[in-house]
Structure 1
């Protein structure tokens, strides 16, 4: 059985341009013409551009998919950067598109439809000067009846006005979701466009962009299955028609495994809805990643002579899914542990205008990681990702763009327009994706429970406004359209992360629960995640719960020697790649051990564009992705999950981009799922680690060589060794000294040699005299007197703490630098001991400085024997403190 041309529009788009079309023949009642090339584009207002005689000769030639936006770039110089400050375009407004095309004469006598897979975020369409209509919502397919305006066999002019203006009261997009969100809403015709011809009798082309046929697996009993097919038959003619509808389920070999036939009288200008049950014996089920078997669902409309008036083919997987509060997701009677990623639809250099090849590459990267599920956030994604998920067995969460804000600024309730738009986008989401076996749940909202948290004012949430009524309406609508799938939403804030802020409890407004939790990033520590999950489970023990987001930023050009050396800057620049790895190691240690979560999705698969961030090594990029925005770098944390999730042999040395090392001694970490892993340094064997916990193999206190260091890890698998290697360097200055920026996660530059970030410590807590980054503009830096190294001295470690430095025996000079952040003279006093010998007594930094924010330095000599220098900072009164340590050979 040939697949219907509409269903294969994506495949055809590679070959067909604006003036090419699929051939009309007796086997295919529909004609599909892809409209990709030949467009002209103008950014900005263009009065009268919809008119046929409008001059567009100076407009830019473009190909669809297209967006005018380029947002987000990495700040570190590189010759292969796609986005740079010079190529960025953040314009949110109006863009015009014009296309001249000639459909074949075969379109004559047919019903013609223009199909747009997405235009952001508001579209108005004219054909040959006639206004066809508009669509509000930037993520879903829509169709317009072009029959009266189309001129078959002649030149036609298609004009589209796209508007991605930021919603504001009184604007053209005021009532179009999303109102907020940590992602950039690109503009343009960023998915495919096609002209489709059908007969007057057709599966309803105006059913919210859906195929007009919708199948549901009702029951699976052993080897048999019952499938119910809803058919929306449309008669667009002016007279009554009687049709025979033949419904078949066809397996991958072309064999019909179930069939049903019925007749229907179709009144003129109306749609008739019918149900067709199919009984499948010896059914081969869709089993997720283990066996993603797909059938073809074929529905034909025939006249009294048996001529096929319309045919629709949809891929369909027979499967039964339910979600249990304790067992998680159960697919065809068997629990499946879901672990995967959240996903945005953008790529550096292309924005949202990703083609099928780009999306396929993304899916392959996600599959390489070993994920078996994707949360499609925070809006409806296109047909390609859904088809690939069906093909590869990846479970999908779909959702609409009801993100954070649901009312206009300063308002307590949503407008009627916003409510109508939310309903329409949900209807489109469900209708267009209902036949996909991969989709298991409909998401009705994300993070609408910020309440009175400090975040709320930046989103535009009015204190005391209640999202529950809107959520209830959307839940009821979803259940009415598709009762076979549960509703779900993701919450942000329940559980005390924001102190005593008033948080609306909205989790009960959906069938399934999902929680976005960032312990160890925006608040708390990673170890606190488990307790928060227990709180949520205790509040609603009968509701299935998932962790829908957890993650941290990670810049591949920023590094730390110890991820616990200082506070991570969730809103600023100190976001080293090593902290990202630490965060995921700690978080997965908790999540991977739990069997009572129906799914977990890390945030995010890839770095993506936003306008609210100046963080890490990027501008307008959220760096929580495990792969960079340009897909060129898979961060270390990617391989942590690959080693744990993908059974394929994996060996990966971490810290590979931290090439120029600050310390002569380091721990070397390798992600390996080998039974045994061997490490080598410059050809010397450093030992073997076996069955490493969490697939993390560690060699502690490895002494690096001055100059080049070739590090190799060899995983000893049953089928043979797998090798990974990196090259690091250690300059002469760092080889002979330990210079520590105390209290710093990322070492500051210094005029007195290369410093590393805080490391080798036990005890104490990190602090800084500089104001922490937060929401809003950066706060001004304070100046430290008595030094040019303000940022080096600004951080500190305080308390009762010890540094243990593995060093060669010999005589060294120790230089300690101090800054008093808060105490008055006499309030803080402490001793400093070196290998048990008291070198500094009752040190009072405030008294010695004589003025606030003034550096004090002290130095002494020490003789090291036994390969270790132990510096102990012990309080006499208050807490001990130090800002920088330098230990250099004499």
Structure 2
């Protein structure tokens, strides 16, 4: 028989809100800003140069209309998410408060309103407070706690008899598949029906299982008499023959249509439609992960939910876009980290085919208080119940790197108590998760301190151990990654392992032909992932690898090359793929694939091989999943043909000045697949007085071995080099390095104020004597760039900087020096007493005429302390 549809009402009320940032009563006369939801009040202050961002009280208000026809209905306000404490007022009266910024919550309106046939208007006000609270997770983390009503708000309207809607804001109908094989499957349903003044009302409950085409596969029907209040229900499809299995490659979804009908009139009172996927899976300690009885390596990423200058306040389409990009990369898994995200995320995982885990936001530390424990457990229950009916979810996760920043340093006895309280909370959460959902795995996510986790017994708590490891990034020795997980497998041979984080920063503007650890280049990021993929793939006992992170994301406390942004994404913060994304495609995709790896390095520069050979050779990698030879051409001429190794064909490309069209081709099953990329190359003459390639412009980052790309200005900042006659370069000095840091190869990790060119100002040559340009006669513009990197400002070492966790301050530098150009003193006594303000960019432009073939000699004469130079630019005017 056809399924009758209930006339449910669920409408967003995102438009026409008023907003005020401040601690004031909602009815005071203040200047309100007109906004629409989703909305965050931290979209811009997290990106400015002032440390910190607004964490405090704000107000949202709007008028809602309740028609008279709803007077016999049950009405809920549903908030998908408000960070992090939301207090709800109706008509000036406080009605409820919700704690926690990442789960949904409901407000039942019926008992709060006086209905009339003409309808009523209601003044809704919401105080949202994202202040730090020691009793509310998350306490600290390497991401930004954006405040606001940043997800949808809905009015949901039900009949008086309905599937319960206030079970931690979940619809109380939970569907599990306790037993699945290739030949049969069982379905178990349990939940609650809410009946307002039901009093022995007879109802029929039907559950119909439909396949993808809408064909009825099974039906369960039962009659019962409701009692007033909550009536539990259960139902079962004990045996579904030959189920079509859900996999990431074929995410086959059934639907379960659950209906409540009046037992006498057959009127539909409520109806729910839930997705259902038949799959079975297992994490093993020796052979990794199995899906539907077959070995299945997990490959995916974690994801944060923010976009540039939007915070977390995204429309559903942008959430889904992220998952499409993840799927197009060839991934089969999403770690929803470090908190539950928009409902659209798991809906898309079900539909697109992405296995998933979701976690509660306990990160870095805990508070040893009953309120913290209570809030942690409540968030966990909300998370499970609101996300239960998603076949994509195979695991619930908790406590990310929870001992990364343990308190009570120097108090070993007190610290030991803290450790045991962490273990106690972990056991409590793990037990509660297994009670809430006995059909899915639990996972606790660890940082690198293996000895500590082993000693206190935390490694023994979860069903699956997740490792966040950054050997070769935060700590030296990329080979130690494999040693770490091999040790864990050797000492805990019964514990399944999943690599839940690994990654390296790749600033989209920074490139290197000789990448090194922590240079922030895309080339090192790609190298890092190549090595980790090899290590994970070669170990059968490792269930898989989850890269950190899908896209660059906001972390307000970060400084470094791109302040306030964590650049470990495979996509940049605007969702533009980096080189490493293309490498993953070549490794993971099944369909024929070829891509020029550094296709986004569209603006390059370098020096010609000679005044006769007007080209500059730089390496380009081509990624492919084909085994046959790859051919690369430039402007129609074949450069070479290379057999790929581990999916990579590397070429030395002779770039010419101007436009270079690269075309890569490989044979696949008798046909040719191709890719192309346009590279604009700014070729510099070997001899600056060259007649065949006249000099025009040069930009140099001192103390640097990288290329900094400024596409907006159409400029490439070259790595420094020592002076050679006829060319250009520095004389004297040393590369600046952070004192007592084993991590940074050169430069500083400070946010340089007053500039967006942080990578240029963070590197420096100290004690420089001269910089020379052997240019022809003419008029020139010379720009000099300085930044005092040594400061007595005390800076808290951020928790993720594993080589230095202590607060540190340096002795303020005292320096003074003159700068002369071609024998004329242009800058007198530059130093800490005037323009060299610590951690602040200072630049000046000088104009000069070069005569008599003398070129340009910039002389740095010390008066007190050492001379410095961060960047230098020269442009020929005529």
Q: Deviations over 1:539-559 (max 9, x none)?
A: 211111010000011111112
State whether structure 2 residue 102 is matched by structure 1 residue 139. yes
Deviates most, 602-611 or 520-529? 520-529
State the match for 2:803 in structure 1: none
Deviates most, 730-739 or 705-714? 730-739
Task: Tell me if the contact between 1:653 and 1:725 (Cα under 8 Å) persists in the aligned partners.
Answer: no
Task: Tell me if the contact between 1:489 and 1:513 (Cα under 8 Å) persists in the aligned partners.
Answer: yes
**Aligned to 2:641, what secondary structure does the other structure show?**
strand
State the Cα distance separating 1:537 from its structure 2 match: 1.0
State whether structure 2 residue 78 is matched by structure 1 residue 115. yes
**Aligned to 1:67, what secondary structure does the other structure show?**
coil
Q: Distance in 2 between matches of 1:501 and 1:206?
A: 38
State the match for 2:826 in structure 1: none
Q: Distance in 1 between matches of 2:148 and 2:2?
A: 33
State whether structure 2 residue 661 is matched by structure 1 residue 683. no
State the match for 1:303 in structure 2: 262
Residues 769, 603 of structure 1: alpha-carbon distance in 2 compared, 3 angstrom cutoff: closer
Task: Tell me if the contact between 1:747 and 1:757 (Cα under 8 Å) persists in the aligned partners.
Answer: no
State the match for 1:711 in structure 2: 662
State the Cα distance separating 1:216 from its structure 2 match: 0.8
Task: Tell me if the contact between 1:72 and 1:620 (Cα under 8 Å) persists in the aligned partners.
Answer: no
Q: Distance in 1 between matches of 2:294 and 2:442?
A: 21
Task: Tell me if the contact between 1:784 and 1:853 (Cα under 8 Å) persists in the aligned partners.
Answer: no
Q: Distance in 2 between matches of 1:501 and 1:853?
A: 47
Structure 1: gaps (5+ residues): 4-25, 74-82, 168-172, 408-413, 569-573, 759-765, 795-848, 856-890
State the match for 1:583 in structure 2: 528
Task: Tell me if the contact between 2:533 and 2:545 (Cα under 8 Å) persists in the aligned partners.
Answer: no
Task: Tell me if the contact between 2:656 and 2:683 (Cα under 8 Å) persists in the aligned partners.
Answer: no
State the match for 1:417 in structure 2: 371
Q: Distance in 1 between matches of 2:61 and 2:434?
A: 40
TM-score normalised according to structure 2 size = 0.76
1:489 corresponds, among 444, 450, 462, to 444
State whether structure 2 residue 87 is matched by structure 1 residue 124. yes
Q: Distance in 2 between matches of 1:577 and 1:146?
A: 53
Task: Tell me if the contact between 2:23 and 2:58 (Cα under 8 Å) persists in the aligned partners.
Answer: yes
**Aligned to 2:471, what secondary structure does the other structure show?**
coil
State the match for 1:8 in structure 2: none
Task: Tell me if the contact between 1:402 and 1:445 (Cα under 8 Å) persists in the aligned partners.
Answer: yes
**Aligned to 2:535, what secondary structure does the other structure show?**
helix
State whether structure 2 residue 348 is matched by structure 1 residue 383. no
2:195 corresponds, among 235, 240, 259, to 235
2:385 corresponds, among 412, 431, 437, to 431
Residues 607, 699 of structure 1: alpha-carbon distance in 2 compared, 3 angstrom cutoff: same
Superposition RMSD on alpha carbons, in Å?
3.7
Q: Distance in 1 between matches of 2:424 and 2:13?
A: 42
Q: What does 1:345-424 align with in structure 2 at a 5 Å threshold? A: 345-407=305-367, 414-424=368-378
Task: Tell me if the contact between 2:306 and 2:312 (Cα under 8 Å) persists in the aligned partners.
Answer: yes
State whether structure 2 residue 171 is matched by structure 1 residue 211. yes
Residues 428, 452 of structure 1: alpha-carbon distance in 2 compared, 3 angstrom cutoff: closer
State whether structure 2 residue 138 is matched by structure 1 residue 149. no
Residues 334, 745 of structure 1: alpha-carbon distance in 2 compared, 3 angstrom cutoff: same
**Aligned to 1:380, what secondary structure does the other structure show?**
coil
Residues 786, 211 of structure 1: alpha-carbon distance in 2 compared, 3 angstrom cutoff: closer
Residues 754, 90 of structure 1: alpha-carbon distance in 2 compared, 3 angstrom cutoff: closer
State whether structure 2 residue 553 is matched by structure 1 residue 608. yes
**Aligned to 1:180, what secondary structure does the other structure show?**
coil
Residues 502, 495 of structure 1: alpha-carbon distance in 2 compared, 3 angstrom cutoff: closer
State the match for 2:623 in structure 1: 671
Task: Tell me if the contact between 1:734 and 1:754 (Cα under 8 Å) persists in the aligned partners.
Answer: no
Task: Tell me if the contact between 1:127 and 1:158 (Cα under 8 Å) persists in the aligned partners.
Answer: yes
Residues 68, 292 of structure 1: alpha-carbon distance in 2 compared, 3 angstrom cutoff: same
State the match for 2:227 in structure 1: 267
Q: Distance in 2 between matches of 1:482 and 1:116?
A: 24
1:643 corresponds, among 573, 586, 592, to 586
Residues 209, 719 of structure 1: alpha-carbon distance in 2 compared, 3 angstrom cutoff: farther
State the Cα distance separating 1:707 from its structure 2 match: 5.6
State whether structure 2 residue 491 is matched by structure 1 residue 539. yes
State the Cα distance separating 1:30 from its structure 2 match: 2.6
Task: Tell me if the contact between 1:626 and 1:635 (Cα under 8 Å) persists in the aligned partners.
Answer: yes
State the match for 2:731 in structure 1: none
Aligned residues: 724
**Aligned to 2:112, what secondary structure does the other structure show?**
coil
Deviates most, 780-789 or 656-665? 780-789
Q: Deviations over 1:620-669 (max 9, x none)?
A: 111111111122x2111110101111234231242742733335332222
Residues 142, 65 of structure 1: alpha-carbon distance in 2 compared, 3 angstrom cutoff: same
State the match for 1:787 in structure 2: 769
Q: Distance in 1 between matches of 2:156 and 2:623?
A: 51
Task: Tell me if the contact between 2:188 and 2:236 (Cα under 8 Å) persists in the aligned partners.
Answer: yes
State the Cα distance separating 1:463 from its structure 2 match: 7.2
State the Cα distance separating 1:89 from its structure 2 match: 9.6
State the match for 1:550 in structure 2: 502
Residues 205, 697 of structure 1: alpha-carbon distance in 2 compared, 3 angstrom cutoff: same
Residues 61, 683 of structure 1: alpha-carbon distance in 2 compared, 3 angstrom cutoff: same
Q: What does 1:414-813 align with in structure 2 at a 5 Å threshold? A: 414-450=368-404, 465-466=418-419, 467-495=422-450, 504-564=456-516, 567-568=517-518, 574-616=519-561, 618-631=562-575, 633-648=576-591, 649-654=593-598, 656-657=600-601, 659-663=603-607, 664-674=616-626, 675-690=628-643, 692-700=644-652, 702-705=653-656, 709-717=660-668, 718-734=670-686, 744-746=704-706, 755=719, 769-771=737-739, 772=741, 784-787=766-769
State the Cα distance separating 1:419 from its structure 2 match: 0.6
State the Cα distance separating 1:99 from its structure 2 match: 1.5
Task: Tell me if the contact between 1:287 and 1:331 (Cα under 8 Å) persists in the aligned partners.
Answer: no
State whether structure 2 residue 18 is matched by structure 1 residue 40. yes
State the Cα distance separating 1:64 from its structure 2 match: 1.5
Structure 2: gaps (5+ residues): 608-615, 691-697, 710-716, 723-733, 753-761, 772-784, 790-860, 868-878
Q: Deviations over 1:840-884 (max 9, x none)?
A: xxxxxxxxx9999989xxxxxxxxxxxxxxxxxxxxxxxxxxxxx
State the Cα distance separating 1:118 from its structure 2 match: 0.8
Task: Tell me if the contact between 1:678 and 1:685 (Cα under 8 Å) persists in the aligned partners.
Answer: yes
Q: Distance in 2 between matches of 1:640 and 1:560?
A: 17
State the Cα distance separating 1:418 from its structure 2 match: 0.6
**Aligned to 2:424, what secondary structure does the other structure show?**
helix
Q: Distance in 1 between matches of 2:65 and 2:453?
A: 61
TM-score normalised according to structure 1 size = 0.75
State the Cα distance separating 1:783 from its structure 2 match: 7.6
State whether structure 2 residue 126 is matched by structure 1 residue 161. yes
State the Cα distance separating 1:423 from its structure 2 match: 0.6
Residues 428, 776 of structure 1: alpha-carbon distance in 2 compared, 3 angstrom cutoff: farther
Q: Distance in 1 between matches of 2:704 and 2:192?
A: 64
Deviates most, 714-723 or 485-494? 714-723
Q: Deviations over 1:24-43 (max 9, x none)?
A: xx831432232121211111
State the Cα distance separating 1:290 from its structure 2 match: 2.0
Residues 228, 712 of structure 1: alpha-carbon distance in 2 compared, 3 angstrom cutoff: same
Task: Tell me if the contact between 1:92 and 1:163 (Cα under 8 Å) persists in the aligned partners.
Answer: no
State whether structure 2 residue 41 is matched by structure 1 residue 68. yes
Q: Distance in 1 between matches of 2:289 and 2:540?
A: 10
1:91 corresponds, among 48, 54, 63, to 54
Q: Distance in 2 between matches of 1:781 and 1:685?
A: 39
Q: Distance in 1 between matches of 2:513 and 2:53?
A: 36
State the Cα distance separating 1:335 from its structure 2 match: 2.3
State the match for 1:762 in structure 2: none
**Aligned to 1:254, what secondary structure does the other structure show?**
coil
**Aligned to 1:112, what secondary structure does the other structure show?**
strand
